[in-house]
Chain A
Amino acid sequence: MPNMSLNKVKMPEQKPEERIKNFNEVALGYTEEMAMEEAKRCLNCKHKPCVTGCPVNVQIPEFINLVAEGKFEEAYYKIKETNSLPAICGRVCPQETQCEEKCVRGIKGEPVGIGRLERFVADWYMANRKQEKPSFEKNKKNVAIIGAGPAGLTCAGDLAKLGYDVTIFEAFHTPGGVLVYGIPEFRLPKELVKREIDTIKDLGVEIKTNMVIGKVLTIDELKEEGFEAIFIGTGAGLPNFMNIPGENLNGVYSANEFLTRINLMKAYRFPEYDTPIKVGKNVAVVGGGNVAMDAARSAKRLGAENVYIVYRRSEKEMPARLEEIHHAKEEGIIFKLLTNPTRIIGTEDGWVKGIECVRMELGEPDSSGRRRPIAVKGSEHIIDVETVIIAIGQSPNPLIKSTTPDLETQKWGGIIVDEETGATSIEGVYAGGDAVTGAATVILAMGAGKKAAAAIHKYLNTKA
């Protein structure tokens, strides 16, 4: 008999007043009992609508039924058949717009907590079983992957399982891409990312860090080196600025810099770690996406008293996940909606002392289908802050394009690919993730890496 409760089993969490003082994970995870109880809410639908919502095709009802029976290890293997990074997906996927959106239980009440269960299974396996080093028959073909983020890691994992010798080239000193530099510890512990990456290394994938492709080696040179296919998963690393006066004042960060200092370089543990970060008493974060929420919540944890989210549309249009907005509000982040910065104001010696904004009204829908914000005349006002963090999006990094003239890109920098295969304008070169789409989600990047792996396999098998 299924559990017919309308609500998900509640996720234990650190209390807001506690967690704003530390960088530990907010959500604490289900116990075995909670997981089995939640798993029993699944109706095991024959047509599996949830699976159609998953970019990496996780066999959701199957694994959930194994959880319901207490077969956690089997559940893990079921997920791993299609998903290389379950502990990560269970935490950062926007399930509410993917698998859980399609869940039949969601028609009346809350959908099954698929993400929570995936997380539980991955964590249970890490805690209770030792990952075995699998061995695969090698086919002696070499594939290069550029970028050790979600797209590259997924592509590498799938190709390694098919017998390829895979080398990932990573620009940073630590693999993980946005999982290590972008998403904060309190949403995605870095130790866990490391362990997920270790499972990819255990498949025989070699990761070469400190290698900036486009500088130290070009795409052409990788081919000369004997790589028969190449996957570009370099992400969207270039921060956008607003081009308003005052953006170069001391105390203005791109969200990329702010989060990289904290997450990758561990500036929140300065001076134990050498990389510094400066956060004022009052902080304005400009933007309404997940990155803006991450930056705001990080600033709070670094001791800021008042942290403002400054967003030019209303809450309804915010691209951030509901859960992130909810967590941010619980932590006391102040939302200044329908507010748009016009300039950043500095002291005489060049430090931020305020941000001037105008109020906005929503007009007719624009090309994105969201109502276009229009400035209200004479509504200028100043918010006193010492730190401004710009989180209005990122563009693809042009380093590879600049040394690969044949690689066709969109005007805004995204690499042009065949949507089904990830094939670029150069034979044998594939691309996926944010480098193609512009800033999107971890799971979409993983889906693209997966598609490209299948296409590369097909290409190298049909190639004479």
Chain B
Amino acid sequence: MGIIRKVNTMNKIIKKEVLNPFVKLMVVEAPHIAKKALAGQFVILRVTENGERIPLTIADYDREKGTITIIFQEVGKTTQMLGALNEGDFILDFVGPLGKPTEYEGNLKKVAVIGGGLGTAIAYPQAKQLHSMGVDVDVIAGFRNKDLIILEKEMKEVSNRLFITTDDGSNGNKGFVSDVLKRLIEEGTKYDLVIAIGPLIMMKVISNLTREYGIKTIVSMNPVMVDGTGMCGGCRVTVGGKIKFACVDGPDFDGHEVDFDEAMRRQNMYKEMEKESVEKHKCRLEDIQNA
């Protein structure tokens, strides 16, 4: 009998690292997923029996060690509970690899990989993959301030040039990733492809910019999902005027075709309830601490 019946699906956390005050990295034992994972794909996870299913992009994988790396920001109750787990703990449910891997089409010589905030964690495996394919990669990463910078060393290793900007200029380099990209293009850098991953507004600004210059642009959408297998349709995005499901048709789409304004509206669907959930969670934590 093959391995699958014996495969370890316990999803043990074997490494936990705090990348900045809000962002954590976890290496999770999931050999069956690691065997198949490719850049651009994601997992869906659940932390408790009463918990929500949330998608997280696969930040890295190691086929030999059988591990999947996730990097996440503690923005809601589920990510907060996930962040509270430690090495040796188990993640209740961990499903993947889901979504289509990023497709690199054509003869790519020079690519700009752009990450905004946490999106940098998702952009990084793209840069790594392209770099290993011998592509000339410029990485542009933007953060709110210098304390939030993550993966600097790793990105340096997989890029020809690395540009890190901060909104407040606290790292000595004030500005947005779009400013850097514009400057590089105007200086004469010829990109065959731009990959932009980060907040919707950033991906929108980058896509608008590259449209002017006629540079193909891939963005990675991260909408609300339940199942991640095409079943609920909650993750629908309008791309080129058609309804697409980010979980099975994406999460990567042509940035010039995505209706970002709609995506931004859809992101607000559960905002109040998410807040309520976090508040309740905090109260309970305080109760426990005060008990």
Q: What is the interface of chain A, defined by CB distance below 8 A to chain B? A: 142, 167, 171-173, 181, 206, 208-212, 215-217, 222, 224-226, 237-239, 241, 243, 247-248, 250-251, 253-254, 256-257, 260-261, 265-266, 270-276, 278, 349-350, 397-399
Contact = CB atoms under 8 A, between A and B. Distances in A.
Q: Which of A212, A222, A225, A243 has the most C-beta atoms of chain B within 10 angstroms of its own C-beta?
A: A212
Given A254-B234, A261-B226, A265-B226, 7 more contacts: A210-B9, A251-B269, A253-B234, A254-B232, A260-B227, A350-B262, A397-B231
A247 B241 CA distance: 12
A181 B1 CA distance: 32
B19 interface: no
Given A238-B230, A271-B277, A276 B270 contact: yes
B133 interface: no
Nearest to B276: A271
Interface string B245-280: 000100000000000001001101110011011001
A172 B227 contact: yes
Interface residues of B, number: 47
Contact of B268 (A210, A224, A250): A250
A274 B51 CA distance: 5
Q: Which of A181, A238, A257, A399 has the most C-beta atoms of chain B within 10 angstroms of its own C-beta?
A: A257
Given A238-B231, A260-B226, A216 B273 contact: no
Q: Which of A209, A237, A241 has the most C-beta atoms of chain B within 10 angstroms of its own C-beta?
A: A237
Lowest 6 A-B CB distances belong to which pairs? A225-B2, A350-B265, A257-B232, A276-B273, A274-B52, A237-B231
17 contacts: A171-B227, A210-B9, A212-B96, A216-B96, A222-B4, A226-B2, A254-B234, A265-B53, A271-B280, A274-B48, A274-B50, A274-B52, A274-B77, A278-B273, A350-B262, A350-B265, A398-B230
B50 A239 contact: no
Interface in B229-244: 229-234, 236, 238, 243
Given A248-B262, A250-B265, A272-B50, A399 B238 contact: no
A239 B277 CA distance: 28
Given A172-B227, A216-B33, A274-B51, A208 B9 contact: yes
Interface string B204-235: 00000000000000000000001101111110
Contacts of B52: 265, 274-275
Contact of B266 (A208, A248, A266): A248
Contacts of A254: 232-234
A278 B269 contact: yes
Contact of A215 (B1, B97, B273): B97
B270 A274 contact: no
Nearest to B245: A238
Interface string B34-64: 0010000000001010111100000000000
A212 B98 contact: yes
Given A276-B270, A278-B270, A350-B265, A397 B229 contact: yes
B135 interface: no
A399 B248 contact: yes
B50 A273 contact: yes
Contacts of A206: 5
Contacts, number: 131
Contacts of B108: none
B177 to A, nearest CB: 26
B93 interface: yes
A142 B227 CA distance: 28
B12 interface: no
A350 B36 contact: no
B143 interface: no
A260 B274 CA distance: 18
A207 to B, nearest CB: 12
B92 to A, nearest CB: 8
A17 to B, nearest CB: 28
Contact of B50 (A173, A266, A278): A266
A209 B93 contact: yes
A399 B277 contact: no
A399 B245 CA distance: 13
A237 B52 CA distance: 20
Contact of A225 (B1, B94, B226): B1
Contacts of A209: 93
Interface string B92-108: 11111110000000000
B95 A171 contact: yes
A270 B36 contact: no
Nearest to B36: A216
B126 interface: no
B78 interface: yes
Contacts of B95: 171, 173, 210-212
B4 to A, nearest CB: 5
B3 interface: yes
Nearest to A351: B265
B261 to A, nearest CB: 8
B32 interface: yes
B277 to A, nearest CB: 5
A215 B50 contact: no
A280 to B, nearest CB: 12
B229 A274 contact: no
A61 B77 CA distance: 54
